[in-house]
Amino acid sequence: MTNQSTTPAQASSSPKGWTPPPPDVWERMLRRERFMIRWFNFSMLSYRNGKARNMPMVATCILTTKGRKSGKWIEQPIYYFRDGENYAVIASKGGMPKHPVWFLNLEADPNCKIYVNWRTHNVRARVATGEERARIWANAAKLYPDYNDYQVTANPRVIPVVVLEKRTP
């Protein structure tokens, strides 16, 4: 898998002085996270994050996008939210000034996959706008209030809300 971690140069612009682990450590964490989600439908990152903030766990999926430069499939554990029959993900990147790599990959090719509850779904991504974006954002921020802080930190970048609609393969 390709590493999509934050580089040390990006760490200096990280919100709240957060410094990400070195790339090799980050990749091991992501590998373990993908394993836990696949086999146990459980996210250690969501569990630890919720415990540290005294909040419930946030549902986590594995988003698989095609790399816009490499053409390889890249897996990223990410929080997701249900929106009727669709899924939604927030491209927050922790409030950093640039979009996450997975979002840039979706802009290049919106056809992707998500692994949720022991199943892989073929989905097509689109960016929510207007009332739909506001509704999904409000629901996501109820479950994970840090999104509101991330939007303030990311300013002037507007954090995209991505809707993942099921499609046939």
Residue with tokens 């509850």: 117
pLDDT of amino acid 29: 82
Q: What is the pLDDT of residue 116?
A: 95
Angle (nearest 5°) at CA 145 between 45 and 39:
25
**Residue 8 pLDDT exceeds 70:** no
- Distance in angstroms (rounded) separating the CA atoms of residues 29 and 79: 16
Q: What is the predicted pLDDT for the residue at 151?
A: 95
pLDDT at position 22, please? 84
Can you give the pLDDT at residue 16?
Answer: 58
Stretch among 1-15, 36-50, 60-74 having the lowest mean pLDDT: 1-15
Task: Tokens 């459980």: give the residue.
Answer: 42
The confidence band for 148, taking pLDDT boundaries of 50, 70 and 90, is very high
The enclosing H or E element of 88 equals: strand 86-90
Domain spanning 59-166, CATH architecture: Roll (2.30)
Mean pLDDT for 82-111 is 96
110-128 residue pLDDT tens: 999 999 999 999 999 999 9
Domain ranges of the chain: 59-166
